[in-house]
Structure 1
Amino acid sequence: MRHGLPGLIVGLLFGAGLAISGMTDPARVLGFLDVGGRWNPALAFVLAAALVPSAIAYLLVRRMKRPIMAEKFCIPQIRTVDARLLAGGALFGVGWGLVGLCPGPALASLAFGAWQSWLFAAAMIAGMILHRLYDDWRDFHHVASKGS
């Protein structure tokens, strides 16, 4: 529980920030993406404002030998751009553009009880499960093909 509490607090703070800034409203996000129509720049200001605490945090982390509540930092070692990364980014972008929600705002908007947010969250969870099943299937077949 000790390690889960900071994550819960940060998640609640993040969700509150999304709600206060209006980023849980798909219409506002879609307005930002509508550069050829009635463009709404609000999301650009929210993203720019998020850079300040993020930059400060990165500066602090670079000076730390290890995290406060973990043995080591979990920084991805793979830095290559491959087809899976591009496909995942494209899928994320298309989904975001179609419905105006991405995972963070979708989860934050569950608190408001809109059925669209619950449907989005259910589809997101289903997608995660399908991805895990596909990865397991792919790994199994990869190992099986090496064994024969």
Structure 2
Amino acid sequence: MLIRLVSLFSGFLFGLGMMISGMINPARVIGFLDVFGQWDPSLAFVMGGAVLVFAPSYFLFLRHQSKPVLATEFSISNKQQIDKKLVSGSLLFGIGWGMAGICPGPAVTALGSGSGKVLLFVASMALGIYLVNTYSDKKTKLSYQVQG
């Protein structure tokens, strides 16, 4: 129960941050991607701020904690190869992000706006996740190892 409450609070905090920073606005994201036009650097500041908070915490926890606070072990991918699945998934993500101006986290947050474009994006994303999970080769699923 506690892990669900912490997850709910974390999701709420993430969504609030996306709303406050304006990152649920597709025009802001497209402005960031328009490097040869009217470039909007605000997304770089949001991402930079997130990395400055996350990176030290991540490495500190991995180095000094034998397990996460609310789980029995760390689950970190040990996959280190760049393969066709990784490249094609990255390309699809980038194309979708560039076309729609929104990525998965802010899209879920923006569902509350009632925008048809956002609803279509999230429905398409959910369908894509379902299709990949249903039809992907079971041997290519990520494997995880415990770090500690």
* TM surpasses 0.5: yes
In the TM superposition, what whole-angstrom CA distance separates every residue of 1:1-50 from its partner, at most 9, and x where no partner exists? Answer: 22211111111101110110000000000000011111111101111111
Which structure 1 segments of 5+ residues have no match? Answer: 141-148
Which gives a bigger RCO, structure 1 or 2 (Cα 8 Å, sep 6+)?
Answer: 2
Identify the residue that residue 26 of structure 1 maps to in structure 2: 26
Give the letter aligned to residue 64 of structure 1: Q
Identify the residue that residue 47 of structure 2 maps to in structure 1: 47
Percent identical residues: 43
Give the letter aligned to residue 134 of structure 1: Y
Identify the residue that residue 128 of structure 1 maps to in structure 2: 129
Deviation for aligned residue 1:53 = 1.3
Give the letter aligned to residue 18 of structure 1: M
| Structure 2 Cα separation of the partners of residues 34 and 26 of structure 1 | 12
| Structure 2 Cα separation of the partners of residues 75 and 59 of structure 1 | 12
Deviation for aligned residue 1:55 = 1.9
Give the letter aligned to residue 31 of structure 2: G
Secondary structure, aligned partner of 1:3: helix
Identify the residue that residue 119 of structure 1 maps to in structure 2: 120
| Structure 2 Cα separation of the partners of residues 58 and 132 of structure 1 | 28
| Structure 1 Cα separation of the partners of residues 68 and 130 of structure 2 | 30
Deviation for aligned residue 1:139 = 4.4
Q: CA RMSD in A?
A: 1.4
Count of paired positions: 138
> Which structure has greater helix proportion?
1
Identify the residue that residue 146 of structure 2 maps to in structure 1: none
Identify the residue that residue 85 of structure 1 maps to in structure 2: 86
Give the letter aligned to residue 122 of structure 1: A
| Structure 1 Cα separation of the partners of residues 120 and 78 of structure 2 | 34
Which structure 2 segments of 5+ residues have no match? Answer: 140-148
| Structure 1 Cα separation of the partners of residues 77 and 133 of structure 2 | 19
Query: 4+ runs of 1 displaced by more than 6 Å?
Result: none
Secondary structure, aligned partner of 2:79: coil
| Structure 2 Cα separation of the partners of residues 139 and 109 of structure 1 | 33
Identify the residue that residue 73 of structure 2 maps to in structure 1: 72
| Structure 1 Cα separation of the partners of residues 101 and 9 of structure 2 | 25
Identify the residue that residue 36 of structure 2 maps to in structure 1: 36
Deviation for aligned residue 1:86 = 0.7
Identify the residue that residue 143 of structure 1 maps to in structure 2: none
